[in-house]
Structure 1
Amino acid sequence: MTAVPAPVPASPPPAPERTKQRLLEQLKRGGPQTVQDLAAGLGVSVPGARRHLCDLQEQGLIETRTERPGGRGRPQHVFLLSDRGEATFPKTYSTLCVDVLRHIQDLYGAGAVLQVLDARSAELAGRLAAELPPGLTLAERVERVAAWLTRAGFDAVTEPAGETGETGGPPVLVKRNCPNLTVARQYPQLCQSELNLLAQVLGAGVVRETRIACGQGRCRYRIGP
């Protein structure tokens, strides 16, 4: 009697997180796409793809916009990577920045590196000025600068001025992340330039007490009048 081969078990469906990663990869490679295009590319149902897309949108990794196919026809909603979604893919920005600064230093000296970074800081200060209207107290300015730094990836917060939390003085500014750590470790001029930027936009003395680039857990700035 011929033995009947045992049925081959079906492959388990991909884990939700893996499906989400594949969605991000498809958007990275193919650009903006409809939910129908994404579902077909992954071999999943449109409702299933839509659920994953909603999750990714809540995480801030993708966004939507309306466009006309080929510039004509009925408008349709497409999904695309947000800046945060783009940041999940490998980048070589830090390597490029270090290479550029190294060439500047070799060609023009160490002082030129700080001049270049200070010029960048001056431009950033101009952009930030719109968020710091006249009439704000120093504490209010520090709060707004912390919010701006957080949007730039520094995860900044303010803390009470005193060790025991007493009130009355300007808060301490703390950056809990350094998105430029690779560059800052090799070129301390970057940290000096950021210190100059804070003093300029706050209109106050700024003393840095700790620095992530030196192996400490955060950058802590004491603000003075």
Structure 2
Amino acid sequence: MPVRSQPVVDPQRPAVSALPALATPMPERTKSRLLELVKRHGPLTAQDLAQRLDVSVPAARRHLSDLREQELIVCRTERPGGRGRPQHVFTLTDRGEAAFPKTYSTLCVDVLRHIEALFGEGAVLRVLDARNVEVAGRLERELPRSMPLGERVRALAARLDEQGFDTEVEQDGDVWYLVERNCPNLTVARQYPQLCGSELSLYTQVLDVPVHRDRRIACGQGICRYRIG
């Protein structure tokens, strides 16, 4: 009686389920792998990514489309080696880069600590105030005082979103609230509360109305909330 050969099982290869829904990588995991590939290997085409992810090109394009909507990647046209037929390649945006671990906060804390040690406690606040002057000048050009207050608040929220603050705008009658659900500077803010004070001064100057903060992430609360007007 002939012996039926058994399939060779590769221990490094995960078993394939009989259920079609489980035979492909989970979408969010695939997106994470896609971002990692672009980060590690530089600009890649959809075909390159599909091959590396072991998915179809249309599937890769769907993930790329989702990541573009989230502003994590951007598409540009370039010629391989400066010659040949132009091709579309994908690279990380600043927001996409921010999804990977950074040591900026540790560096910032170290710099502020040395400034304080060398020039005294008030030096940190003077540095932050100088930065505020520069940032406020730019924002005041983008948010002129001729704009209605609500539009200025929303425009400011949009700028803060770009910096990773995950901002929302709420309104209660004539009062506006700016809500930040994330603090990208949390490590620094916990050690140097001057940063939070500088932020409050900046918003007051740019919006040109009284601004009061009633919640603060650095104090252990879930959000930073600013009452405007």
Q: Map 1:166-181 to 2 at 5 A.
A: 167=173, 169-181=174-186
Q: Map 1:113-132 to 2 at 5 A.
A: 113-132=124-143
Q: Could you tell me which residue of structure 1 aligns to residue 6 of structure 2?
A: 6
Query: What is the number of residues matched between the two proteins?
Result: 218
- 1:78 and 2:83 are equivalent in the alignment: no
Give the % identical residues: 66
Residues 41-60 of structure 1 show CA distances to partners (whole Å, capped at 9, x for unaligned) of 33444334333323333333
| Aligned counterparts of 1:191 and 1:75: Cα–Cα separation in 2 | 47
Judge conservation of contact 1:211–1:217 (CA < 8 Å) in 2.
yes
TM-score of the two chains, using structure 1 as the length reference = 0.84
* Counterpart code for 1:26: L
| Aligned counterparts of 2:128 and 2:153: Cα–Cα separation in 1 | 22
* Residues 26 and 147 (structure 1), Cα distance of their counterparts in 2 relative to 1, 3 Å cut: closer
Task: Give the superposition deviation at 1:3.
Answer: 5.9
Q: Which runs of 5+ in 2 are unaligned?
A: 17-22
TM-score of the two chains, using structure 2 as the length reference = 0.83
Judge conservation of contact 1:206–1:223 (CA < 8 Å) in 2.
yes
- 1:189 and 2:200 are equivalent in the alignment: no
* Counterpart code for 1:220: R
Q: Which runs of 5+ in 1 are unaligned?
A: none
* Residues 176 and 46 (structure 1), Cα distance of their counterparts in 2 relative to 1, 3 Å cut: closer
Judge conservation of contact 2:182–2:223 (CA < 8 Å) in 1.
yes
* Residues 157 and 110 (structure 1), Cα distance of their counterparts in 2 relative to 1, 3 Å cut: same
Task: Give the superposition deviation at 1:83.
Answer: 2.0
| Aligned counterparts of 1:52 and 1:221: Cα–Cα separation in 2 | 36
* Counterpart code for 2:194: Q
| Aligned counterparts of 2:157 and 2:34: Cα–Cα separation in 1 | 33
- 1:155 and 2:166 are equivalent in the alignment: yes
* Residues 67 and 213 (structure 1), Cα distance of their counterparts in 2 relative to 1, 3 Å cut: same
Secondary structure in structure 2 of the residue aligned to 1:130: helix
* Counterpart code for 1:133: P
- 1:218 and 2:228 are equivalent in the alignment: no
Judge conservation of contact 1:139–1:170 (CA < 8 Å) in 2.
no
